[in-house]
Amino acid sequence: MLTKNFPFLLPCNTGITIPATLRRLADDLDRIRAGTGPTAEEFASAPLIVDWRCVLTPVGLSLSGFVAGHPLLGNRPARTSQLWAADASGRWVRTLTRYYRLGISFDHAAFDDTDATEDRGGRRE
């Protein structure tokens, strides 16, 4: 039986916060798709993650880095819950539980070098 190996799937173990979390995520994804999310207030209050890198986990893609201003974790190294949406201009991501403002990534220098090389027509100077 599935629940014997994975007891977290039992209805009694889903917790009262899961449905509310999923409703907030669905509402935010609707607003993101419509081009109206996150709001300026949501963006301003979102934790900042710097020195981040992508991590593929069994539950999906997440970010690992240094988080500042997180409502539960404060300021410390952390890994986000799985990613559900990302800003095309690289300013924010939406995870299962919240928005994060994106600071400089771990491999920022590598991205800058690649971008600069492409801007020069592929020549390195």
| Rama region for 99: left / alpha / beta (φ>0; ψ in -120 to 50; rest) | beta
Does a structural domain hold residue 101?
A: yes
pLDDT greater at residue 15 or residue 124: 15
Does a structural domain hold residue 125?
A: no
Does a structural domain hold residue 124?
A: no
Residue-number span of the structural domain to which 101 is assigned? 2-119
65-104 per-position pLDDT tens digit:
999 999 999 999 999 999 999 999 999 999 999 999 999 9
Residue 1's pLDDT is 75
| Number of separate domains in the chain | 1
Torsion angle, CA of 2/20/26/100, rounded to 10 degrees? -100
Does a structural domain hold residue 34?
A: yes
Does a structural domain hold residue 33?
A: yes
Does a structural domain hold residue 22?
A: yes
Does a structural domain hold residue 92?
A: yes
Kindly give, in sequence order, each residue whose CB lies less than 8 Å from that of residue 74, ignoring residues fewer than 6 positions away. Answer: none
Does a structural domain hold residue 19?
A: yes
